[in-house]
């Protein structure tokens, strides 16, 4: 706090000296008189520039430089984070794409397994149906043969009965 107080005091003294010197030049009859006071005014002006430069401009320029440096650093960090986020996003999308491809492969594998199981079941059902059909054919053939034999025994009896009906008399 005392450093800034000293700076303010120096600035006030410099400005006061400048105004006092300007006042004496004005009292002499003109704004600028070419005598020894001109060199004092030039010296005062240069001293004022030097003091203002040391007390005001350099600290302000330093603050502005630090601020610019901070902003640049923040922008660099933001750019880095944006690139990192972009990379993570791309990695996420690649992972998602890979997961989808793997899921599709698994789905295809499961569908193929189901199709194979379905084919095996259909083959088994077809085999059983063919076996039952063969058994049914054999049974029908056996029944047909039994009926044929039974009918052959009674053919003469039926022929006589039919003949009697047609002729209307007993055949003998």
Q: Where exactly are the structural domains of the chain? A: 2-132
pLDDT tens digit string along 25-39? 445 556 766 888 888
Please give the pLDDT value at position 5: 60
Chain mean pLDDT for the chain: 84
pLDDT tens digit string along 56-106? 999 999 999 999 999 999 999 999 999 999 999 999 999 999 999 999 999
Maximum CA pair distance of the chain? 186
**Percentage of the chain lying above the pLDDT 90 cut:** 57
């Amino acid at each position: 706090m005392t450093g800034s107080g000293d700076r303010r005091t120096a600035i006030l003294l410099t400005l006061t000296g400048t105004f006092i010197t300007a006042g004496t030049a004005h009292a002499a009859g003109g704004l600028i008189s070419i005598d020894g006071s001109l060199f004092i005014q030039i010296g005062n002006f240069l001293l004022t520039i030097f003091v203002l430069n040391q007390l005001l401009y350099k600290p302000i320029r330093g603050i502005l430089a630090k601020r610019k440096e901070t902003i640049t650093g923040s922008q660099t960090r933001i750019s880095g984070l944006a690139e990192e986020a972009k990379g993570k996003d791309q990695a996420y999308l690649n992972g998602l794409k890979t997961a989808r491809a793997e899921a599709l492969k698994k789905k295809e594998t499961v569908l193929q397994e189901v199709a194979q199981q379905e084919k095996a079941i259909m083959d088994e059902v077809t085999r059983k149906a063919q076996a039952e059909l063969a058994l049914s054919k054999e049974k029908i053939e056996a029944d047909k043969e039994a009926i044929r034999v039974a009918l052959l025994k009674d053919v003469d009896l039926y022929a006589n009965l039919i003949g009697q009906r047609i002729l209307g008399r007993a055949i003998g």
